[in-house]
Amino acid sequence: MTPPATPTRFLEPSALMRIRSLELRARIVVEGFRSGLHRSPYHGFSAEFSEYRQYVAGDDIRHIDWRVYARSDRYYVKKYEDETNLRCQLLVDGSRSMAYGSDPLVTKHRYAATLAATLAYFLTGQGDAVGVTRFDDQIRGYLPARNRPGHLRRLMLDLEQAPEGRATSFGGPLERVAQMHDRRGMFILFSDLLAPLDDLKRELQLLRARGHEVLVFRVLDRREIDFDFDRSARFTDLESGRDHFIDPGRARSGYLERFGAHEAELREICQQSGIDLVVAPTDLPVDGALHDFLSSRTRRGPDPGRTRTNLRPTG
């Protein structure tokens, strides 16, 4: 007998991506997340909680976080949506490598767009301003952070654009983004990050030096992590169009070694820059992104300069 359906089961990527409307997917994820806040692993979060600020005379002592006081010997109170004016810019990789998916319905780009749409829906519901920048080796689409009627719909339509870039470059697009934003805010990057990391390091550090919060979601197909292919096949580079005939049995160890070195370098960049890195395999439920986002905001409240790296399980 088939067990009764639960909200969590509907958040599985293979089921969620069957919904054509991106906005509807985002709404389902957010509403499912809110309804499950009282259950693990989200225990302790408030759907309206945003961040911390230091206690000042006259604040309601009921909002003091005593656990933070026990760790820091300082008083901090929780800020809520009516006290917060967050400006968040979503940076979405639109290069052709993002079109890959071992399940054609759950490509990296569809998964990243759904993550971005989910956070946009959640933040807009809190009264925060959200914008989106689509890029590959240059900026392909830009909507500034807003919170006004019709803006969320425009943002969703922009996120639905297919990934067509023939190359990925972090240098030019992120440098331009940094120049366009003088006011402090939050930047959330969605990418497979399968590119040289020198430019990424420089631009992420530039954003942090300008006082912005930065969160990175690394979106990967499970087969890119495990290289779980069992027979020789022709592999096509989606960006260059080149074909490579590969025997996985011979190539696996070398691939995993290079992949691990690349990931270690990425972790070090994020740790040095004070940036949270979240590995988001496309076979994991999308609502975990909200948990990771709120975890990042909560940890950074009392000490926004400290380094944290939050890697989700990949096995």
The domain limits of the chain are: 8-44+85-300
* pLDDT 10s digits, 189-229: 999 999 889 989 999 999 999 999 999 999 999 999 998 88
Please, what sign has the CA dihedral across residues 70, 71, 76, 77?
Answer: negative
Assign residue 44 a region (left: φ > 0; alpha: ψ between -120 and 50; beta: otherwise).
left
52 DSSP β-pair partners: 78
How confident is the model at residue 166, as a pLDDT? 77
Q: Among candidates 156, 151, 171, 160, which has minimal Cα distance to 109?
A: 160
Q: Residue for token digits 């011979």?
A: 250
- Angle in degrees, 0-180, between the axes of helices 288-300 and 108-125, rounded to the nearest 10: 60
How confident is the model at residue 2, as a pLDDT? 36
Determine the average pLDDT of the residues in 54-63: 69
Q: What is the DSSP letter of 64?
A: B
SS3 call for 227: coil
How confident is the model at residue 78, as a pLDDT? 63
Determine the average pLDDT of the residues in 150-160: 96
Confidence class for position 302, pLDDT limits 50, 70, 90:
very low
Say if residue 306's pLDDT is above 50.
no
Q: Among candidates 306, 232, 282, which has minimal Cα distance to 114?
A: 282
CA-CA distance, 82 to 165, in Å (whole number)?
Answer: 39
How confident is the model at residue 113, as a pLDDT? 97
**Higher pLDDT pick, 242 / 237:** 242
**Higher pLDDT pick, 280 / 292:** 280
Domain 8-44+85-300 has CATH 3.40.50.410: yes
How confident is the model at residue 66, as a pLDDT? 79
Q: Among candidates 153, 138, 313, 144, which has minimal Cα distance to 222?
A: 313
Q: For the chain, what's the residue count? A: 315
Determine the average pLDDT of the residues in 113-118: 96
Determine the average pLDDT of the residues in 53-82: 68
How confident is the model at residue 56, as a pLDDT? 67
How confident is the model at residue 222, as a pLDDT? 95
Determine the average pLDDT of the residues in 160-167: 87
Confidence class for position 69, pLDDT limits 50, 70, 90:
confident
Say if residue 150's pLDDT is above 90.
yes
Say if residue 314's pLDDT is above 60.
no
**Higher pLDDT pick, 159 / 31:** 159
* pLDDT 10s digits, 253-289: 999 999 999 999 999 999 999 999 999 999 999 888 7
Say if residue 79's pLDDT is above 90.
no
**Mean pLDDT, rounded, of the chain:** 81
How confident is the model at residue 37, as a pLDDT? 53
Say if residue 6's pLDDT is above 60.
no
Q: Among candidates 117, 105, 122, which has minimal Cα distance to 156?
A: 117
How confident is the model at residue 233, as a pLDDT? 67
Confidence class for position 83, pLDDT limits 50, 70, 90:
very low
Give percent above pLDDT 90 in the chain: 50
* pLDDT 10s digits, 86-101: 899 999 999 999 999 9
* pLDDT 10s digits, 38-57: 444 433 344 444 455 666 66
**Higher pLDDT pick, 129 / 40:** 129
Q: What's the pTM?
A: 0.77
